[in-house]
Amino acid sequence: MGILFKTLYSWKLATLLAFVFFFALNQSYAQDRTLQWDENTDPDLDGYKVYYGLESRYPANQNPYNGTAATEGDSPIDIGNVTQFTVHGLSDGVTYFFAVTAYDIDSLESGFSNEEMTLGITWPGGGFYVNDEPGSPNYSSPYTIRGRADKDSQVTLSDDDGNSWTVSADSDRNWSESLDFKTLYGNSDRTVEFTVESDGITAPTVIATYDPTDPTSRAIDSASLSAYISITWEASDATSGVAFTKLWCKPPGGTWSNTGFS
């Protein structure tokens, strides 16, 4: 009987796997994801489970679908015997990965279906800053924007100036495009809105703050003939804010040197 059970289980597992393939119908933000898949025709079929999470199972990931953000509950979501389901309440601007399994009246569960994912820009995050300082991590010439897509598909990255770039995703579903912000957007502070589209689905907008203008500073001294000098200073930057200041000095006829005070 034990051998018969194993044989039956192997057959049932293969049958369930053969019929569970799904695709995305639509994607909207605040993220609701509607999924639909082919009906499983196993006579003992009892229902389906929707798995979701922030990581793909490719390459081998032991626990990829451990999402917690959906209104319907943590992954997996037992949805019963239906072939279409909408996952609600997922976080905006986040890439999610989905898979479906089927289970029978004996609670035997199939392996995962093919994987579906939301489309989006994964780097940088919304509200990132780009400047015009060579050597800075946020240097604008060039600045690389990265994202995820379906396997081997093309995406169209676009900005709110009407520029667009067609980019091919690699076998790991990654795509990237390097942009020269200075050439594209000149020497003035501004925000730039980016989005990406593929197969009729448009991802959330990511807003870049482009800040090529140097901050201003002004030192106010209260020097006297005493041995100590009290100096206060102020600095401002209208777009990005000031990260730090440095105090420089020079003697009459000399050159500027950094005091080391910051």
**Strand residues in 199-241 grouped as ranges (E):** 201-202, 206-211, 216-221, 231-236
The 10 Å Cβ neighbour count of residue 11 is 11
Q: Give residue 30's pLDDT.
A: 54
Q: Is 227 left (phi over 0), alpha (psi -120 to 50) or beta?
A: alpha
Q: Is residue 79 predicted with pLDDT exceeding 90?
A: yes
With beta carbons less than 8 A apart as the criterion, state whether 148 and 175 touch: yes
Name the burial class of residue 54, with classes exposed (0-12), middle (13-18) and buried (19+) by CB atoms within 10 angstroms of its CB: middle
Alpha helices in the chain (DSSP H): 2-19, 181-185
CATH class of 120-211: mainly beta
Q: Which two tokens stand for residue 162?
A: 């009407």
Strand partners, 28: 32
Q: Is residue 198 predicted with pLDDT exceeding 60?
A: yes
Q: Give residue 68's pLDDT.
A: 92
Q: Give residue 2's pLDDT.
A: 24
Phi–psi pair at 13, nearest 5 degrees? -60, -45
Interacting residues of 207 by C-beta distance below 8 A, sequence separation 6+: 126, 127, 191, 192, 193, 194
**Distance (Å, whole) CA 94 – CA 147:** 10
Strands 128-131 and 206-211: parallel
Which range among 23-32, 70-79, 159-168, 251-260 shows the weakest confidence by mean pLDDT? 23-32
CATH topology of domain 2-117: Immunoglobulin-like (2.60.40)
With beta carbons less than 8 A apart as the criterion, state whether 178 and 139 touch: no
Q: Give residue 20's pLDDT.
A: 45
Alpha helices in 120-226 (DSSP H): 181-185
Give the model's confidence band at 108: pLDDT under 50 very low, under 70 low, under 90 confident, else very high. Answer: very high
| Residues in the chain, total | 262
* Per-domain boundaries in the chain: 2-117, 120-211, 216-258
Q: Is residue 241 predicted with pLDDT exceeding 90?
A: no
Span 136-181, pLDDT tens digits: 777 777 888 988 776 567 899 999 999 999 999 887 778 999 998 8
Number of helical H runs and strand E runs in the chain: 2, 20
If DSSP codes are grouped into helix, strand and coil, which group holds residue 125?
coil
- Whole-angstrom Cα Rg for the chain: 28
Q: Which two tokens stand for residue 82?
A: 């239906």
Name the burial class of residue 147, with classes exposed (0-12), middle (13-18) and buried (19+) by CB atoms within 10 angstroms of its CB: buried
Same fold, 2-117 and 120-211: yes
The DSSP letter of residue 240 is T
